């Protein structure tokens, strides 16, 4: 990072309170929430890093308590890029485990701040965009001058052709429904990443981030009804990163194939379901029910979706039970749906109201048959 960026960024950082790992309880707390050694080692390998668990653990411990004495970073020869690697390790493990621990997230933020203070442009870009986004959402507790500084930093990072800055700009455009500009900046990010990989002789690049960008480009293409480009982008995303990072691409690709190639669509949806992707369960159920005419298989998928409280799966499960003359389970499903009502979104409530109104007579007729 150049001297101007370093000078500006120092205004955005706040001094951390001085803490030390003073007693056994604090050490035990850290070790209880910190990922296991094998997970950390495996993630470091995935990130193609030469850092080791043994080398990093004391640094993680030290930063965990916001200790202002950062001599350990110099002692362990930790560079600003290493701090970002440490942050990515925690992020990836948290993502894979589908867990949220506020203290681990705080540790990630501390690592991000330290990386920025030590001159890492990725960290500076992330924090600058965070400042602007929080201000736009009315969540910013900083002053107007800090927002101005964040914008100045982003401008300078643009001038440096910093790849992540283009990607984060595209994200803002996408979230504002400015899909044309978002597409332009996403493509510029991919070009900069390709140029960087070529210059250092590393063709792997930042594959997970690139996969995320290809997924976004695919979604933009779908919104613009360009299904050929959408298909190409989703396939590229799937080729670049493991399924846990590309579930959206699997799902959207399945929607493209839904009518033209139901077998391929089913295969993609089943891959999504293996990751607990909730939208895949009703889709699989209806595909089995309406196209493959396999009511029992459809019922299986709907039942799985009910376990994660997918409202639409209750509808499908009820219909399957009626087709199978399983009125007892249909009645149980109907009653469960009424219980679920208070814990779902307003949109789901409207759907449940319609469903209950339409199916009430079905159960009433069944009861009358039983009484006769």
Please give the C-alpha separations between residue 115 and each of 13, 108, 121, 161, 312, in angstroms, as whole numbers.
11, 11, 8, 19, 45
Tokens of 252: 């959207």
Instruction: Return the pLDDT at 205.
Output: 58
* Digit-coded pLDDT (tens) for 24-51: 677 788 989 999 999 999 999 999 999 9
Residue 163: closest CA among 183, 186, 129: 186
At residue 370, the pLDDT reads 61
Count of domains for the chain:
3
Whether 77 and 174 share a structural domain: no
208 lies in a domain? yes
Task: For CA atoms 87, 93, 96, 99, give the dihedral sign.
Answer: negative
Assign 3-class secondary structure to the chain.
CCHHHHHHHHHHCCCCCCCCCCCHHHHHHHHHHCCCHHHHHHHHHHCCCCCCHHHHHHHHHHHHCCCCCCHHHHHCCCCHHHHHHHHHHHHHHHHHHCCCCHHHHHHHHHHHHHHHHCCCHHHHHHHHHHHHHHHHCCCCCCCHHHHHHHHHHHHHHHHCCCHHHHHHHHHHHHHCCCHHHHHHHHHHHHHHHHHHHHHHCCCCCCHHHHHHHHHHHHHHHHHCCCHHHHHHHHHHHHHHCCHHHHHHHHHHHHHHHCCCCHHHHHHHHHHHHCCCCCCHHHHHHHHHHHCCCCHHHHHHHHHHHHHCCCHHHHHHHHHHHHHCCCHHHHHHHHHHHHHHHHHCCHHHHHHHHHHHHHHHHHHHHHHHHHHC
- Same domain (yes/no): 28, 176: no
Does residue 293 belong to any structural domain of this protein? no
Among 104, 131, 160, which residue terminates a domain?
160
Same structural domain for residues 96 and 17? yes
| 338 part of a folded domain | yes
Q: Has residue 286 been placed in a domain?
A: no
User: Do 232 and 352 share a domain, yes or no?
Assistant: no
Residues 172, 46 within the same domain? no
| Parts of the chain with a pLDDT under 70 | 1-24, 66-68, 139-142, 200-205, 366-372
The span from the CA of 331 to the CA of 322, in Å, is 10
φ, ψ of residue 162 to 5 degrees: the values are: -80, 115
Any domain includes 292:
no
Which residue shows structure tokens 């000078």?
7
> Do 133 and 34 fall into the same domain?
yes
Q: What is the CATH number of the domain that holds 172?
A: 1.25.40.10
Q: Which backbone phi and psi does 189 adopt, to 5 degrees?
A: -60, -45
CA torsion sign for 211, 214, 218, 223 is positive
Q: In this structure, are 315 and 253 located in the same domain?
A: no
In a domain, 287, yes or no: no
Is 290 part of a structural domain of the chain?
A: no
- The verdict on 2 and 113 lying in the same domain is yes
Domain residues for 246?
164-277
Same domain, 173 and 149: no
Which of 160, 180, 213 represents a domain boundary (last residue)?
160
User: Does 289 fall in a domain?
Assistant: no
**What residue has token string 């978002």?**
182
Select from 277, 292, 316 the last residue of a domain.
277
Decide if 298 contacts 286 (C-beta within 8 A): yes
Measure the CA–CA gap between 56 and 93, rounded to whole angstroms: 15
Nearest by Cα to 59 from 118, 147, 146: 118
Same domain for 116 and 174: no
Q: Are residues 145 and 202 in the same domain?
A: no
Q: Do 259 and 358 belong to one domain?
A: no
Question: Which sign does the torsion angle of CA 133, 136, 138, 141 carry?
Answer: positive
- What is the reported pLDDT for 138? 78
Answer yes or no: are the C-beta atoms of 16 and 68 closer than 8 Å.
yes
């Amino acid at each position: 990072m150049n001297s101007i960026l370093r000078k500006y960024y120092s205004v955005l950082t706040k001094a951390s309170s001085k803490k030390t790992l003073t007693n056994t309880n604090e050490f035990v707390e850290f070790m209880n929430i910190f990922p296991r050694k094998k997970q950390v080692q495996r993630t470091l390998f995935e990130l193609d890093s030469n850092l080791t668990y043994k080398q990093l653990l004391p640094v993680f411990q030290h930063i965990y308590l916001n200790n202002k004495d950062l001599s350990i970073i110099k002692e362990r020869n930790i560079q600003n890029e290493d701090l970002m690697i440490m942050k990515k390790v925690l992020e990836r493990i948290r993502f894979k485990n589908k867990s949220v621990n506020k203290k681990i997230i705080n540790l990630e933020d501390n690592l991000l701040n330290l990386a920025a203070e030590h001159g890492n442009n990725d960290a500076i870009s992330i924090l600058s965009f965070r400042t602007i986004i929080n201000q736009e959402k009315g969540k910013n507790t900083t002053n107007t001058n800090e927002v101005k500084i964040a914008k100045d930093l982003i401008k300078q990072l643009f001038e440096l052709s910093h790849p992540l800055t283009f990607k984060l700009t595209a994200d803002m455009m996408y979230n504002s429904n400015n899909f044309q500009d978002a597409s332009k900046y996403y493509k510029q990010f991919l070009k900069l990443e390709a140029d960087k990989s070529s210059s250092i002789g590393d063709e792997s690049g930042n594959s997970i981030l690139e996969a995320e960008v290809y997924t976004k480009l695919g979604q933009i293409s779908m919104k613009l009804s360009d299904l050929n480009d959408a298909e190409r982008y989703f396939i590229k995303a799937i080729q670049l990163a493991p399924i846990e990072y590309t579930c959206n691409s699997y799902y959207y690709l399945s929607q493209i194939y839904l009518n033209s190639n139901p077998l391929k669509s089913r295969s993609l949806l089943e891959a999504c379901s293996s990751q607990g992707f909730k939208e895949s369960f009703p889709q699989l159920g209806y595909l089995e029910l309406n196209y493959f005419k396999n009511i029992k298989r459809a019922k299986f998928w709907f039942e799985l979706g009910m376990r994660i409280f997918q409202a639409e799966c209750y509808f499908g499960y009820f219909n399957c039970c009626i087709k199978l003359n399983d009125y007892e389970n249909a009645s149980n499903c109907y009653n469960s749906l009424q219980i679920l009502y208070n814990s779902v979104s307003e949109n789901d409530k409207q759907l449940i109201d319609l469903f209950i109104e339409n199916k009430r007579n079905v159960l009433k007729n069944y009861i009358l048959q039983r009484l006769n």
